[in-house]
Chain A
Amino acid sequence: MLFNSFIFILIFLPLAIALYFILNKYNPKLAQAYLLGMSLWFYGYQTPEYLIIIIASIIVNYLLTYIMRRSSDKKIRLSLLILGLILNVANIGYYKYLNFIKWNINTLFGTDFAINSIVLPLGISFYTIQQISFLVDSYKNSNLKYNFLEYALFVTYFPQLVAGPICYHSEIIPQFEDDNKKRINSSNLFIGLTWFITGLAKKVFIADILGNGVNYAFDNLELLGSLDIWITSLAYTFQIYFDFSGYSDMACGIAKMFNFDLPQNFNSPYKALSIRDFWKRWHMTLTRFLTTYIYFPLGGNRVGAFKAVINTLIVFLVSGIWHGANFTFILWGLLHGILLLVGRYTKTITSKIPKIFRWFGTFMIVNVLWLLFRASGISDWIFMVKKMFHFDKAELSHELLSNFDSAVSPLLVIALSILICIALPNNYVRTRKHNTFSAVIYAALLVLCIMTLNRVSIFLYFNF
């Protein structure tokens, strides 16, 4: 089910919230079970077959951690951890990477492995790493004693299930148990609604409009001049931000309506002054996971300069692979890693550069690398980058502009996006005072968003 659908907004969400709080009055365990049931409905709504995969994955992971907790033998615990890691990686590997691996083997060795179409289950990358974090924590700490219902709800809790934020059990499960959060709270309900509506508006009025032009551009690369590619790159840079951060806002807003706090996922990433800074601000929960569960266990930067470089590159390689089974993602990850390292080792020089230039340089690097992220192949990206700097045509293609299919000029949408990203504080920093007028404005914005839902759209981060 999509957040931006009639069924979700008009039926699912009101039903989920209302019955959850009603059931909490009588039986909190029943309320949790209900929330688990609703989350499974949310997940299996479009493709019920996905439920088998997620339920099997939850049962296997829970059983492994259950046995792990009961055992004091270190070897057994370690074996169970390794088994769990292998099973989780094999699960995601089968659905996400098998065809990519086969294709590479076929290309390299002239073999003929059949490339079958495998449909990627929704959100598998997100719930897999969430379960891996639980597995590792259970190995380290045998006092984690959650029951199956709590664990299953932690993995499937619908606001964060398909596109994050990537939560840790320690920040979610205690909230399920907190008696203070079991009653409806009008303040949280209203704040949650405003976050949800803000996220929906970001998605509908900015990301989707920019996405129309971006889709056309990537389907017609040969027809584009250099100015077109600059506009396409900016459009995609803002599309992916407003799309993903819009989704995160909605997820956090929905959780807030249940009185739960999800971790912050974005902190004005396009205000970053370096690539390192960018990764502290972009998809923060993924960076946190990769740092905690890969970078630190490898030794981080406390194992010598050379190993620190390798560790950083490993983290970014994993990040690239996690984002998708294509060399474009791998190269995108590695380039980010390399540029982060360059920034780290030239810090004494770059820190003397005025902030505005540092910001501009960082933004341009991120912008050009997003093209690689979106391109269907590395050659397409090279073609676009070359063309970007050819400056062959001084005018924008009419076809590109018209394909944005927007009532206002796409250039205005991009300008507005820059303004929002650069000049405005984000949701977490801003302290809003809500009054009656803002309630009316949010109501109007929600109705306006609902009116656009007949144009169906898909969230970009669902397939990662």
Chain B
Amino acid sequence: MKKQLTVFFISVLLFTCIIMSITIYMDPFFHYHAPLKGYYYSLDNERSQNFGITTFWDYDTIITGSSLTQNYHTTEFDEMFDTRSIKLPFSGATFKETADIFKRAYDTGHDLKIVFRSFDVNHLVEDSDYVRTDLGEYPEYLYNDIWWDDFPYVVNIDILTDYCIPMIRKRLTHKPGGHTSFNDYMFGEFIPASFAGREALPIDNNTVKFTVGDSEILTDNLEKNVLSIAREHPETTFIFFIPPYNIMWWRDHAVKGELPYVCNVMKRATVLLLECDNIKLYCFAGRTDLTTNLSLYEDEYHYISELNGDILSSIKNNECLLTKENYIKYFDELENYYKNYDYVTLVNNVNTADE
């Protein structure tokens, strides 16, 4: 059996080397090199591909953040701001995940002109090291330069069958190379939502407090994942926007007594961001013409992609910009508006319309 054993081990080694070579050469997650000319790369796995794109692609601007940035068109952005952008969103992105992207971009010698991101309020009071392990196994081996932990990537049946083989097939059938356009790389088709089914509850006046502990967590999160990076790179303009969450989002917080809490979170974050001259924070929570029009939304967060163009135009024209001078008044008015909104009538109307 010694002969069979020898043949067995040599064959295992040989087959493994072949598989590894194919993956390393094609590199569909850009862990080793930039995309090869002549091959078509599908961009469909944010948490596996974004880090590699950041490392090896050529760009001067990053569009990132949560799913609320997935529908931005890089071409539209580039036309408005004269940039060469790449889009690197993460569904349910945490601040740590986006910070890793910024740091990687700088570490790999990219001079960033603009960093554009959604400023996701729901992830502000969160541990500064939190990443979304709840969405599936986090591919940590793609987030470092250690070669010996790459085995799950280079010897992986999904990589071979779902990425490498289709790439080779397209190449052999003379399909043009390239990659999924960032314009086509989207959150999904817009499906108008029904917001019916909620109870017509009044605002809860037993308000949830924004504690000193919450403030410390928020400060630590922003300091480590935003402010320190912005301070280190004054040459980059960081454009953040608080999205126009819809009126049902506000209602859900209001009936749970969280309205002052949410406004305090936004206010505290704004105070911190405004300390950095190269951070510009735009807030669309006050665009009540959008937030109260439920036909624009497919859930409490996500809106039709056409609004992205409006948001970019507003930013270009410096509309909705928060400054040291206006932010207190802005958030007071914001809280006042959503506190006094007639949610009972809203819910009744929505429920009646749905019947």
Q: What is A's interface to B at a CB cutoff of 8 Å?
A: 6, 10, 186-187, 189-191, 193, 407, 434-436, 438-440, 442-444, 446-448, 450-456
Contacts and interface: CB of A to CB of B under 8 A. Distances in A.
Contacts of A434: 1, 4
Given A446-B12, A447-B16, 13 more contacts: A193-B8, A434-B4, A436-B3, A436-B7, A439-B8, A439-B11, A442-B8, A443-B12, A447-B12, A448-B157, A450-B155, A451-B160, A455-B158
A188 to B, nearest CB: 8
B7 to A, nearest CB: 4
A439 B9 CA distance: 9
Nearest to A435: B4
28 contacts: A6-B152, A186-B2, A186-B5, A189-B5, A190-B8, A191-B1, A407-B161, A434-B4, A435-B4, A436-B4, A438-B4, A439-B8, A440-B7, A440-B8, A440-B11, A442-B8, A443-B7, A443-B8, A443-B11, A443-B12, A443-B14, A444-B11, A447-B15, A450-B16, A451-B156, A454-B157, A454-B158, A455-B158
Interface pairs A-B: 7 shortest CB-CB: A443-B11, A451-B157, A447-B15, A439-B7, A439-B8, A439-B4, A187-B1
Nearest to A447: B15
B306 interface: no
A438 B3 CA distance: 12
Interface residues of B, number: 23
B99 to A, nearest CB: 26
Contacts of A446: 12
A186 B151 contact: no
Majority DSSP secondary structure for residues of B touching A: helix
A451 B155 contact: yes
A82 B16 CA distance: 55
Nearest to A453: B152
Nearest to A452: B157
Contact of A189 (B1, B3, B12, B15): B1
A454 B160 CA distance: 12
A447 B155 contact: yes
B310 interface: no
A440 B15 CA distance: 10
A439 B5 contact: yes
B15 A443 contact: yes
Contacts of A455: 158
B354 interface: no
Interface of B: 1-5, 7-9, 11-12, 14-16, 19, 137, 151-152, 155-158, 160-161
A167 to B, nearest CB: 26
A193 B4 CA distance: 11
Given A10-B151, A407-B161, A447-B155, A190 B15 contact: no
A231 to B, nearest CB: 25
A122 B155 CA distance: 29
Majority DSSP secondary structure for residues of A touching B: helix
Contacts of B4: 190, 434-436, 438-439
Contacts of A456: 137
Contacts of A187: 1
A189 B8 CA distance: 11
A448 to B, nearest CB: 7
B2 A444 contact: no
A461 B1 CA distance: 33
A287 to B, nearest CB: 33
A358 to B, nearest CB: 41
A448 B158 CA distance: 11
Nearest to A188: B1
A190 B1 contact: yes
A454 B152 contact: yes
Nearest to B151: A6
Nearest to B10: A443
A190 B6 CA distance: 10
Nearest to A456: B137
Contacts of A186: 1-2, 5
Contacts of B151: 6, 10
A63 B151 CA distance: 45
Nearest to A6: B151
Contacts of B152: 6, 453-454
A439 B16 CA distance: 15
A454 B7 contact: no
A306 B279 CA distance: 86
A447 B5 CA distance: 15
Nearest to A190: B1
Contacts of B16: 447, 450
Nearest to A446: B12
Contacts of B2: 186
B304 to A, nearest CB: 28
Contacts of A451: 19, 155-157, 160
